[in-house]
Structure 1
Amino acid sequence: MACAPAPAFTPGETGRYTGAWFVYLLECAGGRIYTGVTPRLAARMAAHGSGRGARFTRMHRPRQLLAARPFSSRGEALRMELRIKCYSPAAKRDLARDWANAASVCRLPSAT
């Protein structure tokens, strides 16, 4: 499923981002799965792919985005990210499959 373009950065009255926040699962070299949070998914995937992303993805090159899901707030996305980071790799893959089958999930081309 293709996503609508990511919303532009729109600061609210407090100067904070007010659009959707995405939790994403990224398959990396060695079959490892990176879980992250971002308000601008396409830009974050480009950063990971070019080696400007997280330290983990610089050490374990990204292969493909497994799935991403939008959340209405940063706090909600961060809570989900923390929960997912406790999952086993198999559970993360199952979650990615579940999200990929849901209508509210974004799928982007490979990050490599």
Structure 2
Amino acid sequence: MESKCYYFYVLLCADGTFYGGFTDDVEARLATHNAGKGAKYTASRLPVRLLYHEAFSEKHEALSAEWHFKHQSRHQKEQFLTAHHVKWQGLSKL
């Protein structure tokens, strides 16, 4: 039996802001966001681009990662992305 994965992900919105989320299907969730149905926050900041995702075997771990990311300052979010070798500068002009 295959075990289920849960993901924490980070999007770059068209206005240059970051959005952190949780899902069990990253590609489907990204498509939902870009269709304007993913979240109120991203719906007015389209298109969005996937910058980062991390898999967890436990749902609560992915939700915790999302919660911690969302409660950081912009500077802390940038530090998180830099520490994970994610480049986002210059990408906001989607």
The CA deviation string for residues 38-81 of structure 1, in whole angstroms up to 9 with x for no partner, is 00000001111111211111012133211111111111111111
**Could you tell me the percent identity over the aligned residues?**
33
Q: Supply the distance in 1 between the matched residues of 2:63 and 2:44 (Cα, whole angstroms).
A: 23
Q: Supply the distance in 2 between the matched residues of 1:72 and 1:54 (Cα, whole angstroms).
A: 24
Report the alpha carbon displacement of residue 98 of structure 1 after superposing the two structures with TM.
2.6
Determine which of 44, 55, 80 is the counterpart of 2:65. Answer: 80
TM (normalized to structure 1)? Answer: 0.67
Unaligned stretches of 5+ in structure 2?
87-93
Q: Which runs of 4+ in 1 moved over 3 A?
A: none
The answer to whether the 8 Å contact 1:67/1:100 transfers is no
Work out the number of aligned pairs and report it.
Answer: 86
Q: Supply the distance in 2 between the matched residues of 1:72 and 1:44 (Cα, whole angstroms).
A: 18
Q: What does 1:13-28 align with in structure 2 at a 5 Å threshold? A: 18-28=3-13
Q: What does 1:5-44 align with in structure 2 at a 5 Å threshold? A: 18-44=3-29
The answer to whether the 8 Å contact 2:7/2:56 transfers is yes
Report the alpha carbon displacement of residue 29 of structure 1 after superposing the two structures with TM.
2.4
